[in-house]
Structures are given as C-alpha cells and as structure tokens.
Amino acid sequence: MTRQQPRPAVAITGLGMITPAGHDTESTWDGLCAGASTARRVPGLRGCEVDFACTVDGIDLDAAIGGRTAFRMGRYVKFALLAAREAVADAGLDPRSWDGTRVAVVVGTSSGGSASLAEQAVALDRRGPGATSPAGVLLTIPNMPAAEIAINMRATGPSMAPCTACSSGVTALAVARDLLTTGQCDIAVAGATESIVFPVAMTGFARSRSAAVARPGDDPARLCRPFAADRLGLVMGEGAAVMVLEREADARARGAGPRALLAGAGATTDAHHPTSPHPSGAVAQRAVEAALRDAGWQAGDVEHVNAHGTSTPLNDATEAAMISRVFPHRPPVTAPKGVLGHCMGAAGAIEAGLTVLSLQHGVVPPVANLDAPADEFDIACVTKTPLYRPIERAVSHSFGFGGHNAVVALRRA
C-alpha cells in the first residue's frame, strides 16, 4: 500500500463515558483493565430466552441530569448527555463562554429510543391514550441525543445523528472530523449512545441466533468470549461515549494537551447480507486500508488493534482472518465486548475512546473470558492481564448490521 499525503489530524481533547463497567471514563478504563465481564441477569428480562446483559447500574440518571428536563429524555439520551458533560469538562471548555455558533454536535445511535417506543405501545394498548407520555415522541426519535446536548451546551453549529448500526459511533467521529477540517466548526462534540436492553430487542436478537443463549447453570459473565473457539454469540450492553474534537493547532494554542489524535478514517459497505458479514472480509479490509491511507500510514505502522470482536462465530472468524492479512506483524489485539457486552450503536465510540486510553497509558486491556484465540486465528490477542507497552499508532474497527464498516486510525499525541 502506497502512502498518500495525509489530511491534518484532529485533536481529541476531551473524553466522557458511561458504560456497564463504570459511570465515567476512569472507572470504565479500570473495569476494562481488570478484564472481568459485567454481564448479569436482568430482572426486567425475566422469562425471556435471553435474560442477561451488561447494564449501567448504580446511578440515578435523573438526579445526575438534574433540573426539570429529564422527564423528556429516554435512557439513551441521558447516557449521551452525561458522557458529553464529562467530555467537555475534560477538555477544559465551558459552554457558558464558548462561541456556540462554532460548535458542532454529532452523536449517533443504532435504535434510538426503541425501548421507550415499546413501553408507550404497551401503555396505549392496555390503558389507552391517556396513559401515554406527552413526551412520547421525544423519548423515541434518534436525533434527540444530539439535540439535547446542543440545547444543554448552547451549541448552534451543525447537529447530526448518524445511524450506521453498530458502527454509528465511528461514523460520528469521522463526520465530526470532516466538519472540523472543512472549517464548518471549531469544536465538535461527537460520539454515540445506546440502550436497548428490553424484552422485545433481546427476544429479537435471540430469534436471529446472533445472541448467546444461556444453558441451565451457565454463568452469564462467562458467555461473551471474543475470538474463542467455543464462542456462542453476542451479549448485549448499553452506554455512551462522547469526545471533544478540535483542530490540533487550535487546541494547542489554548493550552489544551490532546489525549490523542484522530489521524484517519475509512468506511465501506459489504452490500452482501443484512446481518452476516461478507465471508471474504475483503470489503471490511478496504475500510481499514482507507483509514490507513487517510492517516498516511503503512499497515506495519500499526501497533495495536481494537477489534470489533462480537463473540459471534461469523464476525470473529471474518475479522480475525482480515486482521492477519492486513497486519501480518501481529500487533496486540483486544476486544472490549468481553467486558462491556455489545453496546450496539455506542460500541464504536466507546471502543475508539478505549483505544485513545491505550495510546495515552501504553496499556492494552485483556479480552475477557479468553485463554487463547481459536487455533485457526493467527492474531495476537491480549489475554488474562493487561499488556504494558508504549503505543504510537492504533486502529479501532466497527462493523454493523447492514454491512456498514467504519474504522478510525488514532495516534498518540
């Protein structure tokens, strides 16, 4: 692969997260490095074929949001707003004093407020129109995370809500980078959010045979094992991650030390099947190669791969084969879904954020529940304990239903 002149990298100056491993970035990172799954049985799923998931617990979301607006926000919106507040504070910015006309918000989701839609449908069916919420529409539409962040932070620049299934978060980061490099904003608040741990969705994933189904006596915390020979399927997760992006020169001019640099992005579409990846992995590979070209890197420059790693038989086999083709020098691979579950539309943003932390700290977290990758996978998965090693360049993969492939190339600041 020949080098091309790279576009300017953009600085990641702020990072915010709320995940099953923690209510902020630091606790999430600690949970990932501990390498223990957060999956557990969920009371609200009792009676479902899949009655377990990785959920965000131990926080009063309404109290954390504060004020009188939480009633109109779905759970996925609350996640996004809390992550955005952390990210903006982490960047050392104050929405009360910035020029909101130069601030963009790009926050994706896969299913929006489908959980709230199901709740409203049940209320209407059982008790009639008077039992539904006056904020019913606001609780469900997928643009509301971006809208509520913009309202809360007085951001009147471009506002977008990308939906590319499980790659929505990486798509949002790529769009935000384009807005910055084309001069349409000076600051971009970008990421993704998801919350679909409810009976209809969980039943759908079980019926599609993409979810792991527990047998009697199974421990839910052992069921998500990316790249293992005996992997069973995905375990659902939820959460959000949001980053603050700025042009590097602007960030340094105001004295902000970037956490990392977003150096490149690439996207392709399999155009093959609604749920199964293209078995050759060739189209996903083109997304990786596009991100590398955009960054001006050779494949051998990459020192870490944050894999999509869903723990499903087809995805893991296709991705592992692709990684070994593109990166024959075997950089260390991790897959956060073993700890967090599959956070769907939020997964790409969360995993890109974790890749930023790997670059910052020189640490690759282990893949939970994995002793060694399947014999046929020629990839260097980190297992059992974190790998401590300085990392300059890394990629983070996200592949979604519908064949959406999105990849970001990230560099140490």
Show which residues are catalytic: 166, 308, 342
* First-residue to last-residue Cα distance in the chain: 25
- CA dist 402 and 360 (Å) reads 33
Q: Measured in whole angstroms, how far is the alpha carbon of residue 357 from the centre of its chain?
A: 14
The set of residues, in sequence order, having a beta carbon less than 8 Å from that of 410 and lying 6+ positions away, is 12, 260, 261, 262, 263, 352, 355, 356, 359, 393, 394, 395, 396
What is residue 174's DSSP assignment?
H
Which DSSP string corresponds to 350-393?
HHHHHHHHHHHHTEEPPBTT-SS--TT---EE-BSS-EE---SE
CB burial string 388-403: b at 16+ within 10 A, e below:
eeebebbbbbbbbbbb
CB burial string 341-370: b at 16+ within 10 A, e below:
bbbbbbbbbbbbbbbbbbbbeebbbbbbbb
Q: How far is CA 210 from CA 5, 36, 276, in A?
A: 40, 22, 10
Rounded to 5°, the CA angle 95-100-102 comes to: 125
Helix (H, G, I), strand (E, B) or coil at 299: helix
Cβ of 160: how many Cβ atoms within 10 Å?
A: 18
Closest CA to 306 of 234, 413, 412, 409: 409
Closest CA to 239 of 100, 12, 76: 76
